[in-house]
Chain A
Amino acid sequence: MLFTGDPSVYDIALRSLQVSGAALGLALLAGTPLAALLALSEFPGKRLVVAIVNTGMGVPPVVVGLVVALFLWRSGPLGSLNLMYTVQAMIIAQVIIALPIVIGLTFAALQQLDAGYRLQILTLGAGRLRLFFLLLREIKVSLMAAVMAAFGGVISEVGAVMMVGGNIRGQTQVLTTGIVQDVSMGEFALAIALAVILVLITFMTNYAMTLVQQRGSRVA
């Protein structure tokens, strides 16, 4: 099935990448500046905010799915947007899953970085944006670990995308939810094909990200 190029299999794989890729991108876009803000500022209740972010890393995806579903349900506060059972709803749920992972791990890496770097970068005449990007470059190894952890968290999760996407074949089904459905229907060959693709995608993306992470790590 893998080698004959079943279009439905590749359609599901592509959707998985689309949903998890978009969710990861959005989580990075929002999460890294929030992590920097948290690491570089002092305010009352900062430890509580950090604890909430850290708790977010451990919240089960199914709970995130439930909350997003409550908001997007027809009678919910955002029901008028008609996003329930769409790819967009799945992306929203996965952003919420990935965001605490990105913020929590990036914050920890920035906090561990010698404060002298921030001052030295400021002496170079850097404004806020340049300071932000240069600090991210200094924590590249940890940042890429955060990216891999967040990607692993969303590409492998089932509960949230199932709940808000509805697992509709050809529309909102992704690799993980496809495996669940195929197993429940006794379609083991298809389930195995999807599982192999899922593992391959996870390996290839992590391999690519590891190359980025380790680039320049050799001496000289």
Chain B
Amino acid sequence: MSAGTAIIEARDLSVAVRGAELVHVQRFSVESGEVHVVIGPNGAGKTTLLRALNGLIPASGELLFEERPVRHGRDRLRLRRHTAAVMQVPYLLDTTVRGNVQSGLKPRGVSGDELHRRVDETLEMLGIARLADRRRRGLSGGEAQRVSIARALATRPAVLFLDEPMASLDPPTRRALQADLTGILRRLSTAVVWVTHDISEVAAVADRVTFLEGGHLVQEGTVASLREHPASPTVAEYFLPGGGHAPKAGDGAAEGDVAESSGAADAGSATAEGDVTDASGAAKERIGDA
């Protein structure tokens, strides 16, 4: 696949639960080699969008993976077997670190020497080779998240989904992992969709940023374009110098958060060249997104 080709593309993608629309985006794409950051406040629909793109939850509209439509269960399985995800909570399986890193390889048909080589290589890359035989109960939060990232990277995914992978870590652990992860992503040139609250966490690697609010795409562009020409006061709060949004207590809380409607987003006011705004930017009541 050549650079700039959309690996995953969503058109008119909508996720609704019991009649309540959680997220609706007109267009969202992930291109080969790019780090596409999805940012926005709690309840914006970031996690829901990520899960829909990963084929984890049903969505209406059109989802294409490597230009092929994802419609049925087997399409979603194919999508999941070519992508990988790291969630806010590591969700390590009840086995050793090595067993965890292997767990994504077996369903993809990787076995024997190749499996061992990839596991060793990835453990080394994340600096956790010494933990290979430890079980999950013996790991710190930062170590567990490194294992989760290693488990995802070992599969050599076409797209790596990162759902606030640093949110549950203390600041020193977060900074160390952030530095390592951004270095690894630069080296590997893997396409990434990175959900975060904190633009400073990803500014160094973000090729493109999508700002979500109220389940709708408010603005899309580069970090610089969103910083210079924010489409709404909320975007400005996240991007303007000194207005950087760091997670507050309660941010990045567990799934199932209920966010209050924040009123109509100031959609359609983007002026920067290359910015894309979603015309249907009115915020709606949102349920179940972290």
Q: Which of B50-98 contact A (CB under 8 A)?
A: 51, 54, 56, 77, 80-81, 83-85, 87, 89, 91, 93-95
At the interface, yes or no: B187 with Cβ under 8 Å from chain A? no
Give the bracket for the number of chain B residues in contact with chain A. Answer: 20 to 34
At the interface, yes or no: B247 with Cβ under 8 Å from chain A? no
Interface of B is mostly: mixed
Q: How far is the CB of B147 from chain A (nearest CB, A)?
A: 12
**Residues A123 and B84 in contact in the complex (CB < 8 Å), given A137-B94, A138-B93:** yes
Query: A124 and B103: CB pair below 8 A?
Result: yes
Query: B107 and A116: CB pair below 8 A?
Result: no
Partner of A127, one of B77, B84, B137: B77
At the interface, yes or no: B243 with Cβ under 8 Å from chain A? no
Query: B151 and A220: CB pair below 8 A?
Result: no
At the interface, yes or no: B135 with Cβ under 8 Å from chain A? yes
Closest A residue to B107 by CB, please name it.
Answer: A125
At the interface, yes or no: A119 with Cβ under 8 Å from chain B? yes
**Residues A124 and B104 in contact in the complex (CB < 8 Å), given A116-B87, A220-B135:** yes
Q: How far, in angstroms, from A120 to B155 measured CA to CA in the complex?
A: 14
Query: B93 and A125: CB pair below 8 A?
Result: no
Query: B77 and A125: CB pair below 8 A?
Result: yes
**Residues A124 and B151 in contact in the complex (CB < 8 Å), given A115-B255, A220-B138:** yes
Q: How far, in angstroms, from A137 to B161 measured CA to CA in the complex?
A: 25
Interface string of A128-140 (1 = CB under 8 A from B): 0010001001101
At the interface, yes or no: A126 with Cβ under 8 Å from chain B? yes
Q: How far is the CB of B131 from chain A (nearest CB, A)?
A: 10
Query: A120 and B91: CB pair below 8 A?
Result: yes
Contacts of B117 in A (CB 8 A): none
Max count, chain B CB within 10 A of own CB: residue among A124, A127, A137, A218: A124
Contacts of A217 in B (CB 8 A): 137
Query: A123 and B85: CB pair below 8 A?
Result: yes
Closest A residue to B91 by CB, please name it.
Answer: A120
At the interface, yes or no: A48 with Cβ under 8 Å from chain B? no
**For the complex of A and B, 7 pairs with smallest distance between CB atoms:** A220-B138, A125-B107, A120-B91, A125-B81, A123-B85, A124-B104, A219-B138
Can you spell out 6 A-B residue pairs with CB atoms less than 8 angstroms apart? A119-B56, A123-B83, A123-B104, A125-B107, A127-B107, A138-B94
- Given A121-B93, A138-B94, 10 other A-B contacts at CB below 8 A? A114-B91, A120-B85, A123-B152, A124-B84, A124-B103, A125-B108, A137-B93, A216-B135, A219-B137, A219-B138
Q: Which residues of A contact B (CB under 8 A)?
A: 114-117, 119-127, 130, 134, 137-138, 140, 216-220
Q: Which residues of B contact A (CB under 8 A)?
A: 51, 54, 56, 77, 80-81, 83-85, 87, 89, 91, 93-95, 103-104, 106-108, 134-135, 137-138, 151-152, 155, 161, 255
